[in-house]
Amino acid sequence: MRRDVFQAIADPTRRAIIALIALQAMTPNAIAEHFDSTRQSISKHLRILSECDLLSKTQQGREIYYQLQIEKMKDIDKWLDQFRKIWETRFNQLDNVLSAIKNNKK
């Protein structure tokens, strides 16, 4: 089953894993050390993140390293951009109202 990026970021543990490996590739054991979860639970999260194409894995000897595929994060940014424009418009309207109130007090 192919999952989308929004399923990946819906879980706080997966968001924490993304933040953790954003800086450097890590092995599943190194990732698991940062959580109070079982190794199997972390492996499940890594599998879901991989299915969403947010992670890629590279084998070096007997170790597997997971790394973030930052390009896939752009899907999230594109989706959020529509809301960012709405927020900016509303903040600009609020600035105008506050300026008008300030000018009326003078």
The per-residue pLDDT for range 66-99, each reduced to its tens digit, is 999 988 888 888 888 989 889 999 999 999 899 8
Residue 2: band (very low, low, confident or very high) from pLDDT cuts 50, 70, 90: low
What CATH number should be reported for the domain whose range is 5-105? 1.10.10.10
d(CA 1, CA 65) in angstroms, rounded, equals: 23
The per-residue pLDDT for range 29-61, each reduced to its tens digit, is 999 999 999 999 999 999 999 999 899 999 999
18's CB contacts (< 8 A; 6+ apart) are: 8, 9, 49, 54, 68
pTM, rounded to two decimals: 0.76
Does an H or E element contain 94, and which?
helix 70-105
The per-residue pLDDT for range 93-104, each reduced to its tens digit, is 999 899 888 888
